[in-house]
C-alpha cells in the first residue's frame, strides 16, 4: 500500500510554479495576483483562506485578502466583486464558501468574471469543462487529477466509483474522469444518497473517490483488494486530546481500508493540499492567458 501524499505532490507543483513565476519576474512580466474574499469568521473558512494566502506567498503569487463582516449587504459584496472584475491587476478572484444565509451563493458566483473565476464555479466555466474546452477546472477535482498524475495512476479503462454528486466535487470529477483525455478514459459510476446496493457497486471499483461529508463512511468491506482510494472528505470530529478540541477525519475508515489498497490518500495530508495547489495553477494560468 502506498500513501498518495498530497503534501509531496503539492510541493512539486509549488516548486514548478515558483520557477515559472520567478521567470516572469526576471523578464519583467505581470506577476499573478489573487484576490480572496472572506466573509464572517467561520473557523474552517479562516483556516482555508489563510493557507491559500500563505501558499500564494510561497510561490510568489501576489495575494490580497478582503475581509467583510457577515452582516455585509449582498449588494455591497457584489459591488466589491465587480470592482475586482474591473481591476486589471487582479487575475483571479475567489470567494470563500459557505456564505452567510443572507447572501445568494448563485449571485456571487455569477458575478465573478468567468475569466477570473479561478475556483471554476461559474456556469460558463462548468459548461466549458463539460464540453472539454480550455477553462478553469474547479480546484478540488483538478487537485484529484493532479494527485493521480503525480503518482502516475492509470485511469484509462479503469472502473471508477465516485460517491457524492455535489457541484464542486463529485459531479465534476465524474465528468473529468470519463472524458477522452489523458487523465480520463475511465468508466465512471456516480453514486449518491439514493443509490441502491452502494457496497456492491463500490466493491467493483478500481478507483473509489469518496466525497460525502460523513466520517469513516467507506469501510473495508466496501473496497476490493488493491483498489485506489481517494478520500475527499474533511470532517471535524471532537477530540479532547487536541488543543483545538477537534480532529480532522476523512470519509474513509483509513485504518481498516488502507491495508487493502494499492494507493490511498490520507486526511489530512491528501486532497485538501492538492486543492490549494490546483487553485495556484488556475491563478497562474489566468494571468498567463490575459497577459
CB of 21 to ligand NDP, least distance (A): 23
CB of 139 to ligand NDP, least distance (A): 7
User: Of residues 91, 119, 231, 251, which has the active-site annotation?
Assistant: 119
195 binds ligand NDP (CB under 6 A): yes
Backbone angles phi, psi at 18, to 5 degrees: -60, -45
9 binds ligand NDP (CB under 6 A): no
Q: Which of 4, 161, 191, 252 binds ligand NDP (CB under 6 A)?
A: 191
Q: Which of 20, 158, 165, 260 binds ligand NDP (CB under 6 A)?
A: 165
Q: Whose Cβ is closer to ligand NDP: residue 24's or residue 146's?
A: 146
Q: Is 91 a catalytic residue?
A: no
Q: Is the bond leading into 8 cis (omega within 30 degrees of zero)?
A: no
269 binds ligand NDP (CB under 6 A): no
277 binds ligand NDP (CB under 6 A): no
Task: Report the first-to-last Cα separation within the chain, whole angstroms.
Answer: 44
CB of 48 to ligand NDP, least distance (A): 8
Which residues have CB under 8 Å from 57's CB, separation 6+? 63
How far apart, in whole angstroms, are the C-alpha atoms of residue 30 and residue 51? 23
**3-class DSSP state for residue 125?**
helix
Supply the angle between the helices 271-290 and 6-26 in degrees, to the nearest 10.
20
Q: Angle CA(74)–CA(104)–CA(124) in degrees, nearest 5?
A: 115
Residues near ligand NDP (CB under 6 A) are 140, 163-166, 168-170, 191-195, 198, 211-214, 232-235, 271-272, 275
Active-site residue set: 52, 96, 119
Amino acid at each position: 500500500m502506498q500513501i498518495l501524499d498530497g503534501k509531496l505532490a503539492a510541493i512539486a507543483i509549488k516548486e514548478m510554479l515558483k520557477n515559472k513565476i520567478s521567470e516572469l519576474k526576471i523578464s519583467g512580466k505581470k506577476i499573478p495576483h489573487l484576490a480572496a474574499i472572506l466573509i464572517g469568521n467561520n473557523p474552517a473558512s479562516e483556516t482555508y483562506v489563510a493557507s491559500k494566502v500563505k501558499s500564494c506567498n510561497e510561490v510568489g503569487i501576489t495575494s490580497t485578502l478582503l475581509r467583510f463582516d457577515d452582516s455585509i449587504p449582498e449588494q455591497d459584496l457584489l459591488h466589491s466583486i465587480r470592482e475586482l472584475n474591473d481591476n486589471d491587476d487582479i487575475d483571479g478572484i475567489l470567494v470563500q464558501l459557505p456564505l452567510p444565509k443572507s447572501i445568494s451563493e448563485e449571485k456571487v458566483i455569477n458575478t465573478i468574471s468567468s475569466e477570473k473565476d479561478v475556483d471554476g464555479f461559474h456556469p460558463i466555466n462548468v459548461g466549458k469543462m463539460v464540453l472539454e474546452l480550455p477553462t478553469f477546472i474547479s480546484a478540488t477535482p483538478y487537485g484529484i487529477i493532479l494527485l493521480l498524475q503525480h503518482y502516475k495512476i492509470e485511469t484509462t479503462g479503469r472502473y471508477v466509483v465516485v460517491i457524492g454528486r455535489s457541484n464542486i466535487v463529485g459531479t465534476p470529477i465524474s465528468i473529468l474522469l470519463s472524458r477522452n483525455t489523458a487523465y480520463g478514459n475511465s468508466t465512471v459510476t456516480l453514486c449518491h444518497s439514493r443509490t441502491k446496493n452502494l457496497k456492491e457497486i463500490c466493491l467493483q471499483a478500481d478507483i473509489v473517490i469518496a466525497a460525502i461529508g460523513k466520517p469513516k463512511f467507506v469501510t473495508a468491506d466496501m473496497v476490493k483488494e488493491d483498489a485506489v482510494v481517494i478520500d475527499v472528505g474533511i470532517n471535524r470530529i471532537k477530540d479532547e486530546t487536541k488543543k483545538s478540541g477537534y480532529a480532522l477525519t476523512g470519509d474513509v475508515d483509513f485504518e481498516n481500508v488502507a491495508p487493502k489498497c494499492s494507493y490511498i490518500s490520507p486526511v489530512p495530508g491528501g486532497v485538501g493540499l492538492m486543492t490549494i495547489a490546483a487553485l495556484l495553477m488556475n491563478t497562474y494560468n489566468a494571468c498567463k492567458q490575459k497577459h
